[in-house]
Amino acid sequence: MARKKAAKRRFGAVRQYASGRWTASYVDPTGLRRRAPETFATKTDADIWLSQIEADLTRGDWTDPDAGAVNFEEYALRWVDERKLAATTEELYRRLLRLHILPTFRQWDLDEITPPRVRAWRAERLETIKADTTVAKAYRLVKAILQTATDDELIRRNPCRIKGAGKESADERPVATVEQVDALADAMGPRWRLMVYFAAYASLRPEEQAELRRPDVDLPEEPDPRKRRDAEQHEPVLLRISRAAPELTTGRRMTGDTKSEAGKRTVVLPGFLYVDVRRHLDWFAAKEPDGLLFVGERAAPFRRSTFGRKWRRARDKVGLPPNFRFYDLRHTGNTLVAQSGGTLKDVMVRAGQSSEKAALIYQHSPMDRQKEVAQGLDARVRAARKDAVSNHGDGRSASDNVPSGAPVVRRA
């Protein structure tokens, strides 16, 4: 009887070695024959592997097996270079790579970074540095780099799949009182007191204050006391913010654009700052027509290290907690703006924020404010109940103190 001829294979080829194990291969879209990276115990296993490759090719999900053979360190550093980031952002990314990411990932190619390895790295970081915010930043950076590798079709899928791992859960930032802000300004001394007020009541970032110059201040003429009944009432002082000069950890100052396009804005100062602004311009600002607003005693731009020491001494003198940063004065000011009736958009414009989410970070409701809200709610509900009792005429006195909104049930 004639032997039945085997059916021709539709896709790929399988072959058995002398050892009894099987191998499989196929021709990729470029015409190059690709062999399975491992051998199979049975012919069925080899056929299954080929069917999976064929399905990927049909769906358009196939990726070159050699594409991911790119060292992570080389790819990550190139990724940062190509982004044209702001100086402070680039410094942050390179520091995260150097301290927290490359010590683990530099040994692997892109396609060798798997979800278990990402989970192990994150767990080790959380255990070692115990700073959730830093770990979240590092995780987001790794995820962003590998997402670009996915888009470049160097890897099939991003291995960073831990839900919530990139979310920062920082502690609620402290808020100073008006009295504490005044005390901080006094403790910082005459030369630097206006920086405290600009941070608290104009929502200026430190790097924005570092690049403020005389032409950026629109200071109206002081009113003639003989012509105005109230000499304390002035036309508003305007600040135009268009540039920033952040200082890197190396001490280098990077003058350029504001943090975002929303950072370019005009801020109207509260009237009580008129005298402080005028005195500062007369006494401490650089004398050149385009001179900096805040300079040291030798007319040089203030340094973060020197200012930081003055700030810590002032903070300790006032009795604020050690975690209260100069930047937290923005929280204080924006909270007061919101409590003064300012809308979310008002806060966004004043603080130079481009998103509602960012603006909400700087709004707080401390316990004193919560008590005011509760008192207002109490008064409103009491008034409504009083009106209801009067309108229904059920025999109860309008002054009856009803303990709750639920109807009173009496036993028969």
Q: Could you tell me if 196 and 187 are in contact, meaning their C-beta atoms sit under 8 angstroms apart?
A: no
Task: Provide the pLDDT confidence category of residue 162 given band limits of 50, 70 and 90.
Answer: very high
Q: Radius of gyration over alpha carbons of the chain, in Å?
A: 33
- State the pLDDT at residue 209: 93
The tokens for 185 are 């300004």
Q: How confident is the model at residue 8 (pLDDT cuts 50, 70, 90)?
A: low
pLDDT at 193 over 90: yes
What is the per-residue pLDDT for 247?
86
Q: What is the identity of the amino acid at 234?
A: H
Question: CA 122 to CA 165: how far, in whole Å?
Answer: 9
More confident residue, 32 or 264: 264
The lowest-confidence range among 56-60, 171-175, 383-387, 391-395 is 391-395
Higher-confidence residue of 203 and 380: namely 203
Handedness of CA 65, 69, 70, 73 (dihedral sign): positive
Per-residue CA distances from 358 to 86, 254, 267, 344 (Å): 18, 24, 18, 11
Mean pLDDT, residues 66-85 taken together? 89
Q: Region 13-42: what's the mean pLDDT?
A: 88
Give the pLDDT of residue 82: 94
Burial of 310 (C-beta count, 10 Å sphere; 0-12/13-18/19+): middle
**pLDDT confidence of residue 252:** 84
Residue 399: the pLDDT is 44
SS (H, E, C) the chain: CCCCCCCCCCCCEEEECCCCCEEEEEECCCCCEEECCCCECCHHHHHHHHHHHHHHHHHCCCCCCCCCCCEHHHHHHHHHHHHCCCHHHHHHHHHHHHHHHHHHHCCCEHHHCCHHHHHHHHHHHHHHHCCHHHHHHHHHHHHHHHHHHHHCCCCCCCCCCCCCCCCCCCCCCCCCCHHHHHHHHHHHCCCCHHHHHHHHHCCCCHHHHHCCEHHHEECCCCCCCCCCCCCCCCCCCEEEECCECCECCCCCECCECCCCHHHCEEEECCHHHHHHHHHHHHHCCCCCCCCECCECCCCCECCHHHHHHHHHHHHHHHCCCCCCCHHHHHHHHHHHHHHCCCCHHHHHHHHCCCCHHHHHHCCCCCHHHHHHHHHHHHHHHHHHHHHHHHHHCCCCCCCCCCCCCCCCCCCC
Band (398; pLDDT cuts 50, 70, 90): very low
**299 or 412: whose pLDDT is higher?**
299
Residue 406: its pLDDT value, please?
44
Q: Is the dihedral of CA 149, 23, 12, 29 positive or negative?
A: positive
Q: Closest Cα partner for 38 from 24, 19, 56, 55?
A: 24
360 or 288, which is more confident: 288
- The pTM assigned to this predicted structure is 0.66
Average pLDDT over residues 150-160: 90
Find which of 150-164, 244-258, 261-275 is predicted with most confidence, using mean pLDDT.
150-164
Average pLDDT, the chain: 83
pLDDT reading at 2 higher than 80: no
Q: Return the pLDDT at 122.
A: 95
Residue 24 CA to residue 49 CA, distance in Å, equals: 8
Q: pLDDT (tens digit, 9 = 90+) per residue, 82-132?
A: 988 888 899 999 999 999 999 999 999 998 999 999 999 999 999 988 778
Lowest average pLDDT, out of 34-48, 113-127, 331-345, goes to: 331-345
pLDDT digits (tens, 9 = 90+) for 274-289: 999 999 999 999 999 9
d(CA 377, CA 397): 22
pLDDT in the model for residue 32 = 81
Choice between 370 and 212, residue whose per-residue pLDDT is larger:
212
For the chain, report the end-to-end CA distance as a whole number of angstroms: 103
Give 264 or 360, the one with higher predicted confidence.
264
pLDDT at 411: 44
Top mean pLDDT of 164-178, 293-307, 333-347, 375-389 is at 293-307
User: What's the pLDDT at 10?
Assistant: 78
State residue 260's pLDDT score.
Answer: 80
> For position 173, what pLDDT does the model report?
75
CB 290 within 8 A of CB 214: yes
